[in-house]
Structure 1
Amino acid sequence: MEKRAACACKAAASALVLTLAVGSSGAMAATAAVPDGALLGPWWALPFAGILLSIALFPLIAPGFWHRHFGKIAAAWAIAFLAPFAYAYGLGPAGHTLGHALVAEYVPFIVLLTALYTIAGGICVRGALHGSPRVNTALLALGTALASIMGTTGAAMLLIRPLLRANGNRRHVVHVFVFFIFLVANAGGSLSPLGDPPLFLGFLNGVSFFWTTRHLALPMLFICTVLLLLFYALDAYYYRRPGEARAPELDPTPEAVGIAIEGKRNFVLLAGVIGLVLMSGLWKPGIDFDIAGLHLALQDVVRDTALVVLTLVSLAITPHTARTGNAFTWAPIEEVAKIFGAIFVTIAPVVMMLRAGEQGAFAQVLHLVTDANGRPIDAMYFWATGILSSFLDNAPTYLVFFNLVGGDAHVLMEAGASTLAAISAGAVFMGANSYIGNAPNFMVKAIAESRGVRMPSFFGYLGWSAAVLVPVFLLTTWLFF
């Protein structure tokens, strides 16, 4: 309980610091407007490139230094953007940019992830789970199916630990968790707005709830079927190799019979999370709060507050043995919180330049997605959205291209259905291309590493995605876009 109380105090202190920072900076924001993205040069993207390169290189060249100081490094890159931005455009625009990045985007993001991480981490699946190719493939298929119901983060956090325990006595397991990221943390979340943040943003902007189910079902089934077949073949190859299984005493469940689930009450809390996310998209009371120049909708405040309450309830009602059985620690979510905090801040000028369209520094990217007559090229929208979603946050990337083709959901769902499907598919599917394409990717990596799995480096993972995902996406382009 002392650890839980300390964690709660730390979270409360962080929220207080954030509130004070936004309040002091936001008060100046009213005096000056944020500059047009068309006025920003490409050098403003350097801090964002810096944090990406830090994530890629430091774990390779200085792993000890990185694990001790990654939070400081992330903060340094955020300051490397904010300080020159404040000097060039004034404290008001810098404060508004920081406040919007943190309050409007980062806080809802990390609150939802923390809720799902905490609640799913309180569900402990015990029993005779042994990491054979059939069992591993079944767990990946189950997670893929659950991802569109409880979100990629919820499904990943629910099943990552049982998968780790099931494969605790195998030598070659890296591929298991790489494919877990491909399927459960990304492709599986493509059938509903609850599955992945880009689709939820589309839902908030008027795309009907089941539109993605109808239009992405076939591409999703194709991609997931191919990946599951590839995984089974690869896992069977390793499983049959001599010496693959370690000594029997290292088997995490050598004499277990049947399956037992501890912490079942957390399933009710998971349903509450799903309901809150759905509520914030359907309930529109039209009440907004203006806090230091930042506009917060009542439904979003209610959602985030209730998510914090559900997180605390999970900590209170979950048996200690359930979290112990999951080897639950706060380290993975702490790493995600610090690194993605810097990503959300440094990505701000990149999104501004992309939204500037023809007048922005990245206009050439936008030229690639239309033909000579100005008509959208669906295949190019799929790849442009996907490539940017691989390295930028896929939610704002989705919005950029959603608005590029008009931003009218009713028109896009009918006349522009194929283009909207291409944008949606690119944002969700290709979030799997890198560790930072989607937040659950990084969380799975951190949890697996905390349990002794030597996950690929940033570039090593890119090698996996290039070898496995890119050919599958090329086939998907040919068949569907």
Structure 2
Amino acid sequence: MKPTDLSRALRPLGAALCALAAPAVASAADLDGRALSAWWALPFAGVLLSIALFPLFAMRVWHYHYGKITAAWTLAFFVPFLVAYGPALAGASLVHALLAEYIPFIVLLTALFTVAGGIYIRGNLHGSPLLNTGLLALGAVLASFMGTTGASMLLIRPLVRANDNRRHRAHVVVFFIFIVSNIGGSLTPLGDPPLFLGFLKGVEFFWTLRNILPETAFMLACLLALFFVLDSWYYRREGVLPVDPTPDTARLGFDGGINFVLLGAVVALVLMSGLWRSEVAFDVFGTPLPLPALVRDGGLVAVTLASLGLTARQVHRDNQFSWGPMVEVAKLFAGIFLTIIPVIAMLRAGVDGPFGAVVRAVTGPDGQPLPAMYFWATGVLSSFLDNAPTYLVFFNTAGGDPQQLMTTLAPTLAAISAGAVFMGANSYIGNAPNLMVKAIAEERGVAMPSFFGYMGWSCAVLVPLFVVLTFLFFT
């Protein structure tokens, strides 16, 4: 093809891209949820149901084609949206979803995943009820500062190694998922993806620490006490094997210690972006990008690269570090953040929108939100769908104004936050680390419960605690 022919062929594409980039024509806020049909939510529901059901019924298909399946649902939304509302509004919505929400979210997760993957705990502790409970408590504290994914990846392997000489180990991993992979990450935006999305929406960094610390402390105290009693019963009943099947004479310690410094840098960068107020912002096709957010994201990229460059390859080999889990999260959340665009607009419309029934179900006769209903509605969906978009859905159902939610509606935001983080532990698919921990444990020979077997544990242990929690804090 001649250059002139190529130029002529690309003109329609160039015109479309220019139209998509027209900031003066439309912005993401111009999308009126009252005028949308509930059918626009179908691609979003399709993405979430695919995440939930394909691993159960077509694991092989999902393993090889999850990216294509997610892309298909995304195109099923965006192409009709582009045709129906024009390239200006579609482009503005696309840019806002990517630059204001998706990229900061993925950059933080990548930094935490990389830093945690660069720390290896060597040596083989010997599992006992006291030691196991101590490791779970340590993981609960770390989860709020290095993320549930980071803390889970850091501690699950040494915990499994510590219990190699125990006959009953599945309960140890189940409680690890409850405590470290979920509930422990409820106190800061670093802890769990839903809270970081709230932070990006304007919720203060320390708001959750101030407002759901009692709920978190109640859940963790009850779970740690229950675990200690249960593990002590198993321990007395079974004893330990006379020979440790995986002897490890290495001295207890850490490799990759530089990553602790880099973890501190991650915390400092996120905290900085929440405390630094700057009038400098760059408008990108109608989406304002504040200078503190740009500095934070640039710094997080630098931390990620520094961790990869400074961590010895042996540490990554010992941790069996790979990019597979992070690539999967990035692809899935790209689809989620795009297909959720009309859902958020419809929820912002309140009782006048297509989801008015949902809004009325969590709202009292006086028009005020019902925290208990928000806790259970957010939590039940977070049990089977990803808890990050579920948080966003109910954040916007409650009005989406961070200042109002942090003050006059603080009990509602606390209920949404607790529901999304706590009840992500109800099933293997409620939160990304759950399945990662299960896979690592099974690799090391732990006979983990099936999907419904795990839910038997969560229904027996977690649901009664959630009922008590509701009466104590949300009614």
Is 2:261 the partner of 1:265? no
Which residue identity does 2:422 align to in structure 1?
F
Q: Distance in 1 between matches of 2:452 and 2:19?
A: 37
- 2:94 alignment partner in structure 1: 98
Report which of the two structures shows the higher radius of gyration computed on alpha carbons: 2
Give, in angstroms, the shift of residue 111 of structure 1: 1.1
Q: Decide whether aligned partners of structure 1 residues 112 and 351 sit closer, same or farther in structure 2, where only a CA change above 3 A counts.
A: same
Cα distance in 2 for residues equivalent to 1:144 and 1:283: 28
- 1:42 and 2:70 equivalent? no
Q: Specify the SS of the correspondent of 2:126.
A: coil
2:287 to 290, 294, 311: 294
Structure 1 pair 93/240, CA: closer, same or farther in 2 (3 Å)? Answer: farther
Task: Describe the SS at the equivalent of 2:212.
Answer: helix
Helix, strand or coil at the partner of 1:90: helix
Query: 1:74: which partner in 2?
Result: 70
The CA RMSD over aligned residues, in Å, is: 3.3
Q: In the alignment, does 2:118 pair up with 1:108?
A: no
The question of 1:137 aligning with 2:133 is answered yes
Where does residue 223 of structure 2 map in the other structure? 227
- Cα separation, 2, equivalents of 1:453 and 1:346: 37
Q: Does 1:333 pair with 2:326?
A: yes
Structure 2 counterpart SS, 1:304: helix
Q: Which moved more, 1:50-59 or 1:192-201?
A: 192-201
Please state if 1:282 is matched with 2:275. yes
Structure 2: distance between partners of 1:118 and 1:170: 31
Listed as ranges, the matches of 1:392-431 within 5 Å are 394=387, 398=391, 401=394, 415-431=408-424
Q: For 1:351 and 1:195, how far apart are their aligned partners in 2?
A: 23
More deviation, 429-438/288-297: 429-438
Give the distance between the partners of 1:186 and 1:229, measured in 2 at CA: 17
Quote the residue 2:369 is aligned against: 376
**Cα distance, 1:259 vs structure 2:** 1.5
1:239-287 CA distances to partner (integer Å, 9 max, x unpaired)?
5676996x95742xx1436521111111000000000000111112221
Partner residue of 2:85 out of 70, 84, 89? 89
Query: Is the contact between residue 445 and residue 455 of structure 1 (CA under 8 Å) also seen in structure 2?
Result: yes
The answer to whether the Cα contact below 8 Å between 1:132 and 1:239 also exists between their aligned partners in 2 is yes
For 1:474 and 1:185, the matched residues in 2 are separated by 21
Decide whether aligned partners of structure 1 residues 452 and 297 sit closer, same or farther in structure 2, where only a CA change above 3 A counts: farther
Please give the alpha-carbon distance, in whole angstroms, between the structure 1 residues aligned to 2:61 and 2:166.
30
The answer to whether the Cα contact below 8 Å between 2:362 and 2:370 also exists between their aligned partners in 1 is: yes
Q: Does the 8 Å CA contact 2:189/2:198 hold for their aligned counterparts? A: yes
Q: Deviations over 1:170-227 (max 9, x none)?
A: 5654443333232223221223344344445555666555443343222111111222
The equivalent of 1:13 in structure 2 is none
Amino acid at match of 1:47: P
Q: Distance in 2 between matches of 1:137 and 1:402?
A: 34
CA contact (8 A) 2:101 2:197 kept: no
**1:27 and 2:13 aligned:** no
Count residues with an aligned counterpart.
458
1:411 positional shift: 6.0
| In structure 2, C-alpha distance between the alignment counterparts of 1:461 and 1:95, rounded to whole Å | 43
C-alpha change, 1:373 and 1:280, in structure 2 (3 Å) is same
> Using the alignment, how far apart are the partners of 1:25 and 1:393 within structure 2?
33
The code of the aligned residue for 1:338 comes to K
Question: Contact conserved, 1:59 with 1:457, CA < 8 A, in 2?
Answer: no
Whether the 8 Å CA contact 1:347–1:392 is kept in 2: the answer is: no
One-letter amino acid of the structure 1 residue matched with residue 473 of structure 2? F
**Contact kept? 2:344, 2:396, Cα under 8 Å:** no
Retained in 2: the 8 A contact 1:26–1:99?
no
Structure 1 residues 472 and 77 mapped into 2: Cα distance closer, same or farther (>3 Å)?
same
Amino acid at match of 2:92: H
Judge conservation of contact 2:347–2:397 (CA < 8 Å) in 1. no
- Asked if the contact 1:56–1:459 (Cα under 8 Å) also holds between the matched residues in 2, the reply is no
Is residue 412–residue 419 contact of structure 1 (8 Å, CA) maintained in 2? yes
Distance 1:46 1:334 in 2: 24
Q: CA deviation at 1:102?
A: 2.3
Report the residue type matching 1:294 in the other structure.
Answer: T
1:129 Cα offset (Å): 2.0
Kindly tell me: are residues 458 and 336 of structure 1, through their superposed partners in 2, closer, same or farther at Cα, counting changes over 3 Å? farther
User: Once structures 1 and 2 are overlaid, which stretch shifts more, 323-332 or 158-167?
Assistant: 158-167
Q: 1:120 aligns with which of 116, 134, 140?
A: 116
SS of 1:296's equivalent in the other structure is strand
Paired position in structure 2 for 1:9: none
Q: Name which of structure 1's ranges 375-384 and 407-416 shifts more when overlaid on structure 2.
A: 407-416
Change over 3 Å in CA distance of 1:267–1:105 after alignment to 2: same
Name which of 341, 346, 355 aligns with 1:353: 346
Distance in structure 2 (CA, Å) of the matches to 1:58 and 1:204? 30
**Per-residue CA shift, 1:372-396, capped at 9, x if unaligned?**
2223323223223333444566556
- After TM superposition, the score normalised by the length of structure 1 is 0.83
Unpaired runs of 5+ in structure 2? 1-13
Residue 75 to residue 376, structure 1, CA distance change in 2 (3 Å)? closer
State yes or no: 1:54 paired with 2:50: yes
Q: Letter of the aligned partner of 1:425 in structure 2?
A: A
Equivalent in the alignment of 2:162: 166
Which SS does the other structure have where 2:289 is aligned? Answer: strand
Q: Is the 8 A contact 2:188 2:205 kept in 1?
A: yes
Shift, 1:163, TM fit? 2.6
* Matched-pair contact (CA < 8 Å) for 1:25–1:99: no
> Is structure 2 residue 176 aligned with structure 1 residue 176?
no
Partners of 2:450 and 2:336 lie apart in 1 by 19
With over 3 angstroms needed to count, the CA separation of the structure-2 counterparts of 1:356 and 1:93, relative to structure 1, is same
